[in-house]
Amino acid sequence: MGASILAIISKAPLRISFAGGGTDLEPFCSTHGGCVLSATINQYAYVKIEPNPSLTDDTWMFCSPDFDEENKLTGDIDDWDTNKSTLLVKTYKHMYKKYQFELSPVKITGYCETPPGSGLGSSSAYTVATVSAINRYYALGLSKYDIADVSHYIERDVCSLPGGKQDQYASTFGGINFIEFKNQVLVNPIELPESFQEKLQMSTVLYYIGGQRNHSVIEDNIKNLQENKDTITKTFQLKENCNSFFTAITTGDQQRIIELMNENHLLKKQLSSKIIDPDIEEIYQTAITHGAMAGKICGAGGGGHMIFFTDFTKRHNLIKTLNSLDGHVVPFSFTHKGTITWSQ
């Protein structure tokens, strides 16, 4: 940490997943290999870390304004009770234990523009932003893969939050990526022609259903991947769907994209009624009737967001129809950058 630096601010983008979600869950991805195709968007998690001279030499403050939470911790960091602590506290403590940086009393404030359970990877973006801020503030020199790896470990093992692997890597690297999982994670950036990316942007409508995804949706999926042959078979089909989506998007085959997105919806529906419940199915059918050519749930399902693919001439009518339902359309644009930090 440079003496002239007053604070470090980081931001990490959320993402929408076009294909492959569910193949990044354990034990499937380690045993069979998984893949996802996702794109980061201009919705962000932010974290600020700063020295706090008003605190004593053994006092740290962690603030989450969007959850109206504030934690003030003192004494030896090894003695901090993190069982009921926020993700900020758990991340900071784990980073210290892993990298042994020189401790200094700080104030860390974080918030996310989208609530957890939204299907856009908000919790992961929040973790990535926190790790990135700590990395810059304490000059740890972590690579992008390091940031994504430790963020994934913190969410899954330190915080015991169920989920896959894609979100931390999507948020760290940014852009449109084909991400592969097995013995290691490989992030493959997709460079689309500007005209086709603009077409993809204009054709995609992001819709907030309302509510939040329940952790039980993911937990049930993980359990079924261990003991249910039909779930494993459907997950292999989701993997094939993702590989085909990669080919379609890199060749600019719009008709194939539409077919594969609808196939994804059907596979998710067959996997579990908790992923695509009757309310979500009704929204999907309403959208198809009013201008959408395809649609799918974002994230684990059960709530949060959906994306729909439409023609430019039908976009206005689709948005009008969706906004007349209980949720609302969310304006967005693709972003090419992953997590970034700057000094203040």
81 as an active site residue: the answer is: no
- How far, in Å, are 20, 85, 164, 237 from residue 34 at the CA level? 7, 32, 10, 11
DSSP state letters, 281-338:
HHHHHHHHHTTEEEEEE-TTSSSEEEEEEE-HHHHHHHHHHHHTSSSEE----B----
Helix (H, G, I), strand (E, B) or coil at 73: strand
Containing 198, the helix (H) or strand (E) segment is: helix 194-203
Q: Are 29 and 23 in contact (CB under 8 A)?
A: yes
Q: Are 87 and 95 in contact (CB under 8 A)?
A: no
Map 98-164 to HEC letters: HHCCCCCCEEEEEEECCCCCCCCCHHHHHHHHHHHHHHHHCCCCCCHHHHHHHHHHHHHHHCCCCCC
Distance CA 238, CA 245 (A): 10
* Annotated active-site residue in 76, 167, 230, 279: 167
**Using N-to-C axis directions, what is the helix angle for 122-137 and 166-173, rounded to 10°?**
50
Q: Are 341 and 132 in contact (CB under 8 A)?
A: yes
Positions annotated as catalytic residues are 167
